[in-house]
Amino acid sequence: MIVTKLTTKLGIRVPVVQGGMQWVGLPQLVAAVSNAGGLGILTALTQPSPAELRNAIRTTRTLTLKPFGVNITLLPSINPPDYAGYARAAVEEGVRIIETAGNNPGPLIKYFKENGCTVLHKCTTIRHAKSAARMGVDFLSIDGFECAGHPGEEDIGGLVLLAQAAQELDVPYIASGGFADGRGLAAALSLGAEGVNMGTRFMCTVESPIHESIKQKIVDSPATATTHIFRTLNNTARVFANTVSKTVVSLERRPQGAKFEELRDLVSGARGRKVYENGDPDAGIWSAGISMGLIKDIPSCEDLVARIEREAEEVISRMGALVVKGKSRL
């Protein structure tokens, strides 16, 4: 068994967190991850309203007695969702583990801490991590350039970013971006992390709610099958490289660039949801990380988490055996 600050604080067996993913973080997956010994996380904004989030929390509780959390991601929007309403729904339904992400999380973090919650906040820079630490978060999730979704604008890979976190942060952190197996977990722990956050890997499990064709697409795809959109808009997102994302990139690369209004229909969330529902990888934009290159099967969450735990323990034991005390180096 691997014991870290994360497992101790959250009451989980394996230091593996299932990241909050739009259209993916639903009760069946969340409960399966938690039952397997990790931490499952419901994605609040997948639910159309705070009331529906309450229902999703209650459904999850019928499927697991283990700890699980709720993700609330603050998105740039002209008409923002009812973030406060989602936060109240989670707290009033008794959820005490929250993952936050996005800009200006201070008010939400304050509310959650006032209500006895453990807060994990995702960051892509050490600067932002220090800011979140001052707000009182319990754990930071350090998101490297390898991640699906939004890696920030500084293009720093996890190897360096996590080492910087070890040097500069006082708050414990977990590693996010590019993790899919036990070797990755062992590597993250060696860099000072208390665990890992995985998104793409959990998309490709039996209990994942997405279409089987998309799961198989992930298995069949190399690490190079992603691209970045919105780079020219300073809102970079790593997504699967399909016909839609390639069109977005080509529009952005024009001499005059592209305004969001020109891209809105291409990148709409409704189109992205159809990918997962209908199994057409070209139906819209969908997030995927370069960890696809490490994914070779579609296991149950129970088998996956057990495998990661076993692999990590084996790597850690092997690494420990490299240290020989009391003998000359010559």
Contacts of 149 (CB under 8 A, 6+ apart): 199, 237, 238, 287, 289
- pLDDT of 50 reads 98
CA distance 286 to 38: 24
Helix (H) or strand (E) holding 152: none
pLDDT exceeds 70 at position 329: no
Q: What is the pLDDT of residues 73-107, one digit of tens each?
A: 998 777 899 999 999 999 999 999 999 999 899 99
pLDDT score at 122: 96
Structure tokens at 77: 């929007």
Q: Cα–chain-centroid distance for residue 11?
A: 19
The pLDDT-based confidence of 327 (bands split at 50, 70, 90) is low
The pLDDT value given to residue 77: 77
**Residue pLDDT, tens place only, 245-273:** 999 999 999 999 999 999 999 999 999 99
Q: Cα 144 to the chain's mean position, in Å? A: 11
Give yes or no for residue 330 having a pLDDT over 60.
no
Mean pLDDT of 295-316: 98
How many whole angstroms separate alpha carbon 135 and alpha carbon 106? 6
pLDDT band at 328 (very low <50, low <70, confident <90, very high): low
CATH superfamily of 5-209+299-320: Aldolase class I (3.20.20.70)
Instruction: Give whole-number Cα distances, 159 to 120, 142, 274, 295, 323, in Å.
Output: 20, 11, 34, 20, 22
In the chain, domain spans: 5-209+299-320, 212-278
Percentage of the chain exceeding pLDDT 70: 99
Residues 165-193: pLDDT tens digits?
Answer: 999 999 999 999 999 999 999 999 999 99
What pLDDT score does 76 carry?
A: 78
